[in-house]
Amino acid sequence: MTLLAIKYTEFKPCPSLSATFTAKKKKENQCSTKNMSTSPLTSVSDSRYFQPNFLEKVKIKVHLTGLRYKNTVLEKCILASKKNRRISLLKTRATKREQHCNIEHLKDRNQQNWVHFVGVGGCGLSALALIAVKQGFEVSGSDIQWSSFMDGLQQAGVRLHIGHSTLNIQSENGSRFPNCIVVSSAISEDNAEVLHAKSIGIPVYKRDYWLAKLTENHTLIAVSGTHGKSTTSALLAYVLKAMGDDLMAVVGASMPQFPGGNVIWGDGPHFVLEADEYDGCFLGLSPYIAVVTNVEWEHVDFFQDEEAVKTFFRRFLKRIRVGGHLIICGDEGTDSVGARSLLDYTSEGSKPEHASGTMSVTSSDVDGYNIITYGISSTNEWHASSICPNSKGGTDYVLYHKGQPLANISLQIPGAHNVLNSLAVIATVTVLLQGRRQVHELINSLKLHLLDFIGLSRRFERIGKIHGCDIYDDYAHHPTEVYFVLQAARQRFPSMRLVVVFQPHTYSRLAVLKDDFAVALSHADHVVVTAVYSVREAGPRNVCGKDLATSIISSTSEYIPSLDDVVDKLALEICKDPLREIVILTLGAGDVNTVGPKLLHELQKRLCIA
């Protein structure tokens, strides 16, 4: 099937915020909360660990000479933490003598400040830890198991711990403690390090607060959306860097073309950030440009339904700075999955206006920002036409702006979803840089760099090839993501047998979206479903991988719980006819990515290939 044959309406997928620092923002959040359903979600605007009253009372003065943007967040947090800890020490000294918590030495401002990250193995917190290292601070971190992101941290000199313990947040002789602790959204309130830190007066900050302070002095470009935000933010950061922008960037996946993995460290004013909606993390940001790729029900353990997701995104749009920009997919159907519906809520009484074949949406004075749409439909300000596969395994299309053709664009990365991602990048770059260059000059430069982008790790990543077998891996763990990556695989390998190994990620997601997974996976020739990967869920489990396997009707399927057994089964089948053309595609957000390398090694061994 070629990309032109894809009908965007064929597949219909199933349907934490830091404390605010001004009265205006507090009132805004209260108004937004009134519109939400009475569920645990409504409490996300108040951080579980951060005491808002403290920072409202403490006036922090930071001298930025020479560092400009670099040390703002840490200096503010560290200075606040020192005062907070001295106050807490006076209050608790009588009852905590047995702990021997001598932290008076923290008054010494000449001593290197120490920040500890709990959950440091994740893509988000590992990036913040690496930035803290580059800012010149002593950094440590802990997680329950080692991850690839920790490799770079170890090389950077971060002191890492496997497992959570109170010993992780004190020096060897027990006389020194971190100035503050930053916590991942995945860390529970009863974590040993969090409880101990709070008991001895060490401030504990959630990731959303830390990100807000880190980015507040930059021109922030926050890339959000249920799907596609990692690729879009990485592509945007890559293109800007290639065009000479000395930016900062944090992306939620490893990028082979970034020397820092998922971080770009620069001295310029621009900061590209993948803005995560989970736990309301993006609600603490104040972006100059907000990109919304799509909006759909995801993170079902946090959001009770799709409307709850949209509520959070609407609150996010209210965070855009006055004079800023909203860049949003304006299509309707599978390709936009709900993003356009947010436009009805950007300003009271505001409706899209159609003129000259393009959709021109203007915001009200209350909103204070401009709206730019992109998509496949010609009603968008930026749109793509004549989409087709190219010889590089990617996609070509004709770029239009306000109904006028501008350029032929080529991508190495396949799939209709990546056409949309590239359009978001083009729209964003022109907003950022059009004052410095003419539009045609910008587009000509963009063309070259868009073509050079090779993609992210675990985003249709090629693991290897042996005889007639190609092995790929992708992070897709939602029905819409599964659908689009299978369409991309069909685009690149139209005549080859497609075998998918799918590892469901979390029981809650599988329970809610099982039928939609079954529909999406039916686009493969054969599906192997493994046991559910879930490390953060407790409670009843009334669904399993076998239930999904039996729900897939249009394709053959089987349930093999163990990943090692999957490798053995596939190796046995492939070795029977090693020259047969076949694509093995592993999908999921867990450890299913280990299957591809193991399978490749096993095939090399059995087929006696060095």
What CATH code is carried by the domain that includes residue 262? Answer: 3.40.1190.10
pLDDT score at 6? 34
Indicate whether 92 belongs to any domain: no
Mean pLDDT of 469-497: 96
pLDDT exceeds cutoff 60 at 64: no
* CA dihedral over 300, 304, 310, 315, signed as positive or negative: negative
pLDDT exceeds cutoff 50 at 18: no
pTM of the model: 0.79
pLDDT score at 540? 63
On the CB side of 290, CA atoms within 13 Å amount to 33
Indicate whether 64 belongs to any domain: no
For the ranges 74-88, 252-266, 402-416, 462-476, the lowest mean pLDDT is seen at 74-88
Rounded to whole angstroms, how far apart are CA atoms 534 and 186?
12
- Examine the domain organization and report whether 446 and 466 are in the same domain: no
Phi-psi region of 17 (alpha: psi -120 to 50; beta: other; left: phi over 0): beta
* Residue 516, amino acid: D
Indicate whether 355 belongs to any domain: no
Indicate whether 563 belongs to any domain: yes
Domain count across the chain: 3
- Examine the domain organization and report whether 474 and 583 are in the same domain: yes
- Examine the domain organization and report whether 131 and 179 are in the same domain: yes
The residue out of 205, 240, 271 marking a domain boundary is 205
pLDDT score at 81? 54
User: What are the pLDDT digits (tens) for 132-161?
Assistant: 999 899 999 999 999 888 998 999 999 999
Domain, as residue range, for 486? 461-609
pLDDT score at 259? 86
Mean pLDDT of 278-289: 89
Q: Which residues contact 261 (CB under 8 A, 6 or more apart)?
A: 127, 130, 149, 152, 254, 255
Element (H, E) at 181: strand 180-183
pLDDT score at 234? 97
Q: Please state, as a whole number, how many other Cβ atoms lie within 10 Å of the Cβ of residue 289.
A: 25
**Count H helices, E strands: the chain?**
16, 23
Mean pLDDT of 370-381: 94
Rounded to whole angstroms, how far apart are CA atoms 203 and 178?
9
User: Does residue 118 sit in helix, strand or coil?
Assistant: strand
User: What are the pLDDT digits (tens) for 378-424?
Assistant: 999 999 999 999 999 999 999 999 999 999 999 999 999 999 999 99
Banded model confidence at residue 48, pLDDT cuts 50, 70, 90 = very low
Domain CATH number, residue 143: 3.40.50.720
- Examine the domain organization and report whether 444 and 486 are in the same domain: no
Domain CATH number, residue 533: 3.90.190.20
Give me the phi and psi of 395, to 5 degrees please.
Answer: -140, 140
For the ranges 38-47, 123-132, 218-227, 231-240, the lowest mean pLDDT is seen at 38-47
- Examine the domain organization and report whether 222 and 271 are in the same domain: yes
- Examine the domain organization and report whether 488 and 447 are in the same domain: no
Rounded to whole angstroms, how far apart are CA atoms 472 and 593?
9
Mean pLDDT of 250-264: 90
On the CB side of 493, CA atoms within 13 Å amount to 21
- Examine the domain organization and report whether 327 and 438 are in the same domain: yes
Mean pLDDT of 556-584: 96
pLDDT score at 355? 30
Banded model confidence at residue 610, pLDDT cuts 50, 70, 90 = low
Average pLDDT of the chain? 81
User: What are the pLDDT digits (tens) for 539-555?
Assistant: 668 899 999 999 998 89
Q: Please state, as a whole number, how many other Cβ atoms lie within 10 Å of the Cβ of residue 244.
A: 10
- Examine the domain organization and report whether 436 and 538 are in the same domain: no
256: its two tokens? 């082979």
Indicate whether 176 belongs to any domain: yes
- Examine the domain organization and report whether 335 and 442 are in the same domain: yes
Indicate whether 500 belongs to any domain: yes
User: What are the pLDDT digits (tens) for 93-129?
Assistant: 333 333 333 323 333 444 579 999 999 998 889 999 9
For the ranges 172-176, 238-242, 463-467, the lowest mean pLDDT is seen at 172-176
- Examine the domain organization and report whether 288 and 395 are in the same domain: yes
Evaluate whether 204 touches 180 at the Cβ level (below 8 Å).
Answer: yes
pLDDT exceeds cutoff 60 at 346: no
Indicate whether 143 belongs to any domain: yes
User: In percent, how much of the chain has pLDDT > 70?
Assistant: 76
The residue out of 421, 452, 483 marking a domain boundary is 452
- Examine the domain organization and report whether 538 and 587 are in the same domain: yes
User: Does residue 458 sit in helix, strand or coil?
Assistant: coil
pLDDT exceeds cutoff 70 at 204: yes
Banded model confidence at residue 603, pLDDT cuts 50, 70, 90 = very high
- Give the pairing type, strands 404-411 and 395-401: antiparallel
pLDDT score at 8? 32
User: Does residue 384 sit in helix, strand or coil?
Assistant: strand
- Examine the domain organization and report whether 412 and 539 are in the same domain: no
Indicate whether 31 belongs to any domain: no
The residue out of 205, 237, 258 marking a domain boundary is 205
